[in-house]
Amino acid sequence: TGIKMSSSDMTYDLGPRNCHRIVVLGAPRVGKTNILRRFMGKDFEESYEPTIEDFHRKLFHIGGEAYQVDLLDAASERDFPAKRRLSILTGDIFLLVFSLDDRESLSEACELLSEIKAAKAKLLKLKQPMRVPVIVCGNKGDLDSERVVRRPDVGKILGEDIPFFETSAKTGTGLDAMFRALASLGGLPHETSPSRHQVIPILTYRSLYVGQRGRRGSRTRVLSAPCAAVDPLARRPSFNSDLQLSFPGAPQTPDKERHK
């Protein structure tokens, strides 16, 4: 069945293959937020502030089809293993970020990779850690004079079979190739990469579809070029929604119990 998406006056169904959640993990201060800003079509921010807004949604109109990409920055869950594990279980694609000027952040990325493999294997009741759709990003490539991690180091620690990209969220170097690789892993069109579509206002995007009573509406406007919009009303699904997504049929947890 399709996934029903509702945003203000827009309601339509998307097939499961058109909806994906990318979970972003990594040590603090490695540039996760700025990488996400780049994906959302925003500019780099020089000042550092701990992540507060951890959930983003970008809606695409490509080749006459609608796509939804949810991005979850799990940075705030670093000290909450159970919550982080649930985020991992709901992820379709994973982006692990470390900083090329911080060797410890690479070690943390390695630990997270093992955690992702183990969590997914347990969910599927596999005896061995499974291969998962993961991309590793070595960020802050613009700080070449401060680099302490080289490409051969990454292969030795993470393995040669993990796709690895050196990037700079500040200059944009390497990001387009990395975003295209994320799209390929998720079976999404390459046009979801920020350099390959036009960003339009959310109201303009909504005008592409007119839905009534939850049914797919007629297309009132056609744009030949790929376009996308950021949904400003998107909020992270509830704990129970994520639990149901990971474990269909699991009992609902009352709010008062959930926050104990």
Express each pLDDT in 213-230 by its tens digit.
Answer: 344 444 445 567 899 999
Task: Report the pLDDT value the prediction gives residue 7, as an integer from 0 to 100.
Answer: 46
Tell me the residue type at 122: K
| CA angle 110–112–116, rounded 5-degree value | 120
Q: Which CATH code is given to the segment(s) 3-258? A: 3.40.50.300
> What is the Cα Rg of the chain in Å?
19
Closest CA to 69 of 222, 171, 191, 170: 191
Express each pLDDT in 149-161 by its tens digit.
Answer: 999 989 888 887 8
**237 vs 218 pLDDT, higher one:** 237
Express each pLDDT in 196-219 by its tens digit.
Answer: 999 999 988 888 754 433 444 444
Percent of the chain residues past pLDDT 90, beyond the cut = 46
**Is the model's pTM score more than 0.75?**
yes
Q: Are 230 and 258 in contact (CB under 8 A)?
A: no
Task: Report the pLDDT value the prediction gives residue 45, as an integer from 0 to 100.
Answer: 85
> What band does 52 get if pLDDT is binned at 50, 70 and 90?
low
* 38 has pLDDT over 50: yes
Task: Report the pLDDT value the prediction gives residue 124, as an integer from 0 to 100.
Answer: 76
Q: Backbone phi, then psi, for 29, in 5-degree steps? A: 65, 30
Q: Write down the residue that tokens 């119990």 correspond to.
A: 257
Closest CA to 142 of 52, 36, 40, 34: 34
The domain ranges of the chain are 3-258
